[in-house]
Amino acid sequence: MTTNTLSPPLQWAVQAAQDKKAQGVTVLDFAALGAFTDAFLICSGASERQVQAISDEIEEQLGRHGLRLAHREGRAGSEWILLDYGEFIAHIFHERARLYYDLERLWRSARRIDFPDEPGAGER
């Protein structure tokens, strides 16, 4: 998986997170691992309010393309919101929670794609 081979829904979710200034946007590819989902989208917000804004933007952008959320964990004021779209799961963390749970370390066997914090600064 490369940035150019991400599925359109995952590309839209990455773009939505970047539009809300998410930090540390990363995709973990589970295709070769036979996991329960194809990928994780992991990103951070500097506050609970930004975490919620990133989550809302992902839901809104994917909804415009007719994609509906299968499951959501977390709520306004949470330090971690999970959005399950089946094909991929988005994890939107407050910076503290991301460091604590360290999903990148737990799933270190997955291929990893890191996106620049400034939208448009990297490959699309």
pLDDT at 79: 93
Tell me: the pLDDT tens digits for 58-112?
Answer: 999 999 999 999 999 997 778 999 999 999 999 999 999 999 999 999 999 999 9
Q: Which string of b and e fits 40-51 if b means at least 16 CB within 10 Å?
A: bbbbbbeebebb
User: Residues 31-58: pLDDT tens digits?
Assistant: 878 778 999 999 999 999 999 999 999 9
Contact (CB, 8 A) for 88 and 10: yes
Average pLDDT, the chain: 90
Q: 122 burial class (0-12, 13-18, 19+ CB within 10 angstroms)?
A: middle
Residues in Cβ contact with 16 at an 8 Å cutoff, skipping those fewer than 6 apart: 54, 57, 58, 60, 61, 62
Q: Hey, what domains does the chain have and what are their CATH numbers?
A: 8-114 (3.30.460.10)
Q: What is the pTM of this model?
A: 0.89
In the structure, how many helices (H) and strands (E) does the chain have? Answer: 4, 6
